[in-house]
């Protein structure tokens, strides 16, 4: 909402400053779409009182593939919500303090890191904190609108005329340009789905309160968005890279005084809070998809602060990367933003139509009609956005969504394969097991003796294995072995090419060839220095061996550490 008007004006400016007045009917049309979507989502809240994302609604009623499409669109949407909201918040700051404009990328990445750190610490915006800044934001924008209209209508206050902009040879004021402007401004709808996602967070009666909040949100969104759009057209405001439209309006209405800085401050804070909302929604959606087996199960695990830490970290990294790649430009990120938003909207409302038609509760026909109008409206906006913004960057979202869906299916196939492999259904057992214990030694010292003693607790027939690369060293080892070898036989493997792994792996393969039920335990002695940097002074042979044995079937690797005192 804080940047939607500016995006409309940016597109219209391509056809010249005279076209900026068309932002008013476009803004009104978007306001109508907001009202339709709000009305439709009230039905979703009533049908899913436990709270449900568009992913769950689409998956429950349309099937797995529509659900995955909605899930991919939402994950992209939440990531772009953070990048766009933070970038817009930084733009509000740099508009007030132009000296910060060259540092907008650094500021954006820093804000993302700060919000992510707060979420990882388990800090959530309290209802009172969020409400205070919401009221300040609404009050500030209403004050800007009321005072601005009064100043314009009764006192004749206007902005200085913008320099004339020549229409681009390739852009005429036709239907395509109007549709592009509509698609750009349609990002004002983002955030509507957050209320239906978090129904359980409301006080009882949860459904009624969530629906009330959703309607209030719609009224506020329409009032502020349409009001700012009309006011910008009345003042003849033209978008500029270094200053936002809201900042220009506030300067013209209030000058550069305290109220102007108040408007910019509440704009910045509310946009950062909007980004923080995505840090709750993204990990929660990732949890649902991980629970269903379409994302790694690590996303379903809570950290020590009862936060889905992995989701927070991934979201922060992806959104910060977008800010860096797109140089912190809200305008550059918008084409990527809208496609995912309206894809999930359309699938969710289409799923609700299917639900009403299938279950046929009381009043099902008018419920289906409301959801159908919502699906048709958002579907039309999705097509307009996809067509008009495709070459501006929407193609990236299409490709990324396809890659995510393929990724989801591959993960699910893996989990199903693992479940089948581990299932006890039809399992008849493997019969008696044979066990061979080997201690891999490179010398004879206290650490090795400790490993030999441990091997004897596992098997009375344990053996030590030594790979010979120097006959003289082998002779010295055999001399000490009789006294310190703990009674274990020493197997010496020759290595003509001075390779440690090759002879040992050939010997191991020979043992494993005895049968499927033959298990070989490899014990590796390793001494551990006191200081971390002292590891750099020693060969990491144990690490190399463990890596080589990691994926070998019927091989168990046991590391026996000997801790040095200094």
d(CA 210, CA 416): 37
Burial pattern 172-183, b for ≥16 Cβ within 10 A else e, equals eeeeebbbbbbb
Domain 434-563 has CATH 3.40.50.720: no
Helix (H, G, I), strand (E, B) or coil at 19: helix
Q: What is the predicted pLDDT for the residue at 463?
A: 95
pTM: 0.81
- The H or E element spanning position 446 is helix 446-458
Q: Is residue 57 helix, strand or coil? A: helix
User: What does each C-alpha distance from 303 to 29, 104, 114, 307, 311 come to in angstroms?
Assistant: 44, 32, 18, 5, 10
Distance CA 271, CA 85 (A): 5
Structure tokens at 246: 């809201």
What integer pLDDT is reported at residue 171 of this predicted model? 44
Q: Specify the pLDDT at position 124.
A: 54
pLDDT tens per residue, the chain (566 residues)? 567 888 888 888 877 777 788 889 998 999 998 898 898 888 888 888 887 688 999 999 999 999 999 999 999 989 999 999 999 999 999 999 999 999 999 999 999 999 998 888 766 555 577 788 889 999 999 999 998 888 877 655 555 555 555 544 444 457 888 888 888 888 877 777 777 777 777 788 888 888 898 899 889 989 999 999 999 888 888 888 888 999 999 988 888 789 999 999 999 999 998 888 888 889 989 999 999 999 999 898 876 555 788 999 999 999 999 999 999 888 888 877 777 788 888 999 999 999 999 988 888 899 899 899 989 988 888 888 888 777 777 788 889 999 999 999 999 999 999 998 888 887 777 778 889 999 999 889 999 999 999 999 999 999 999 999 888 999 999 989 989 999 999 999 988 777 888 899 999 999 988 888 899 999 999 888 888 777 777 767 888 888 888 888 899 999 999 888 87
Rounded distance between C-alpha atoms, residue 199 and residue 141, angstroms:
27
Do 227 and 44 touch, CB atoms closer than 8 A? no
Task: Return the closest-CA partner of residue 188 out of 232, 139, 223, 141.
Answer: 223
C-alpha span between 319 and 180 (Å, rounded): 25
pLDDT of residue 50: 80
Residue 303: what pLDDT? 66
End-to-end CA gap in the chain = 62
User: Where do the domains of the chain lie?
Assistant: 4-47+78-328, 434-563
pLDDT for res 169: 44
**DSSP run (H or E) holding 436:** strand 434-441
Residues found in the chain = 566
Q: Which of 267, 254, 366, 310 is nearest to 119 (CA)?
A: 310
Neighbours of 360 (CB within 10 A): 12
**CA–CA gap between residue 561 and residue 509 (Å, rounded):** 26
* pLDDT at position 119: 85
Q: Round to whole Å and give the CA distance between 72 and 403.
A: 9
Q: What share of the chain is helix, strand, coil (3-state, %, to 5)?
A: 70, 5, 25
Question: Looking at residue 189, what is its pLDDT?
Answer: 79
CA distances from 34 to 55, 188, 273 (A): 21, 8, 21
Given this structure, which CATH class describes domain 4-47+78-328? Answer: mainly alpha
CA distances from 58 to 89, 163, 353 (A): 32, 49, 11
Contact predicate 162/238, CB 8 Å: yes
SS3 308: coil
Cβ-Cβ contacts under 8 Å for 223 (sequence gap 6 or more) = 142
Q: Quick one: how far is CA 87 from the chain centroid?
A: 17
Nearest to 188 by CA among 60, 377, 455, 7: 7
Q: Where are the alpha helices (DSSP H) in 186-257?
A: 193-197, 206-235, 245-254
Structure tokens at 177: 């340009």
Domain 4-47+78-328 identical in fold to domain 434-563? no
Whether residue 74 contacts residue 410, with contact meaning beta carbons closer than 8 Å, is answered with no
3-state SS, 447-501, equals: HHHHHHHHHHHHCCCCEEEEEECCHHHHHHHHHHHHHHCCCCCEEEEECCCCCCH
CA pair distance 349, 382, nearest whole angstrom: 13
Phi, psi of 243 (to 5 degrees): -150, 135
- Whole-Å CA distances, 12 to 37, 87, 243: 25, 22, 17
Query: What DSSP designation does 189 have?
Result: G
């Amino acid at each position: 909402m804080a940047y939607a008007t500016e995006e409309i004006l940016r597109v219209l400016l391509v056809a010249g400053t005279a076209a900026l007045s068309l932002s008013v009917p476009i803004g009104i049309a978007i306001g109508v779409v907001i009202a339709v979507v709000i009305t439709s989502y009230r039905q979703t809240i009533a049908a899913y009182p436990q709270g449900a994302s568009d992913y769950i609604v689409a998956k429950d009623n349309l099937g797995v593939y529509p659900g995955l499409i909605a899930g991919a669109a939402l994950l992209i949407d939440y990531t772009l919500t953070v990048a766009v909201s933070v970038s817009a918040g930084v733009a509000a700051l740099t508009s007030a303090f132009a000296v910060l404009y060259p540092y907008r990328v650094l500021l954006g990445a820093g804000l993302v890191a700060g919000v992510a750190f707060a979420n990882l610490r388990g800090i959530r915006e309290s209802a009172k904190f969020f409400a205070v800044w919401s009221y300040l934001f609404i009050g500030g924008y209403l004050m800007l609108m009321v005072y601005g209209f009064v100043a314009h209508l009764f006192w004749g206050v206007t902005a200085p005329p913008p320099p004339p902009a020549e229409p681009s040879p390739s852009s005429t004021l036709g239907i395509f340009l109007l549709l592009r402007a509509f698609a750009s401004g349609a990002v004002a709808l983002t955030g509507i789905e957050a209320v239906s996602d978090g129904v359980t967070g409301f006080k009882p009666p949860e459904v009624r309160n969530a629906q009330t909040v959703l309607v209030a949100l719609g009224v506020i969104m329409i009032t502020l968005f349409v009001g700012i759009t009309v006011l910008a057209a009345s003042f003849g405001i033209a978008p500029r890279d270094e200053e936002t439209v809201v900042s220009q309006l506030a300067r013209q209405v209030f000058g550069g005084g305290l109220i102007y800085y108040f408007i910019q401050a509440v704009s910045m804070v509310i946009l950062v809070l909007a980004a923080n909302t995505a840090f709750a929604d993204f990990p929660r959606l990732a949890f649902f998809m991980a629970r269903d087996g379409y994302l790694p199960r690590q996303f379903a695990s809570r950290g020590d602060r009862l936060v889905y830490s992995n989701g927070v970290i991934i979201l922060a990294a992806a959104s910060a990367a977008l800010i860096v790649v797109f140089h912190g430009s809200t305008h550059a990120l918008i084409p990527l933003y809208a496609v995912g938003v309206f894809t999930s909207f359309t699938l969710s409302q289409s799923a609700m139509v299917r639900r009403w038609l299938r279950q046929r509760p009381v009043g099902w026909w008018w419920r289906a009609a409301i959801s159908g109008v919502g699906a048709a409206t958002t579907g039309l906006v999705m097509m307009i956005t996809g067509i008009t913004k495709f070459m501006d960057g929407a193609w990236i979202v299409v490709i990324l969504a396809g890659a995510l869906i393929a990724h989801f299916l591959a993960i699910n196939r893996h989990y199903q394969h693992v479940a089948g492999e581990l299932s006890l259904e039809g399992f008849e057992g493997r019969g008696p097991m044979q066990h061979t214990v080997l201690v891999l030694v490179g010398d004879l010292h206290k650490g090795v003796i400790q490993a030999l003693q441990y091997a004897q607790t596992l098997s009375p027939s344990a053996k030590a294995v030594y790979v010979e690369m120097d006959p003289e060293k082998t002779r010295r080892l055999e001399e000490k072995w009789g006294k310190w070898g703990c009674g274990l036989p020493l197997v010496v493997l020759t290595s003509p090419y001075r390779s440690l792994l090759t002879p040992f792996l050939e010997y191991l393969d020979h043992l494993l060839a005895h049968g499927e039920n033959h298990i070989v335990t490899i014990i590796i002695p390793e001494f551990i220095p006191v200081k971390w940097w002292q590891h750099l002074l020693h060969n990491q042979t144990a690490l190399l061996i463990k890596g080589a044995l990691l994926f070998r079937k019927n091989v168990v690797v046991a590391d026996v550490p000997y801790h040095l005192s200094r």
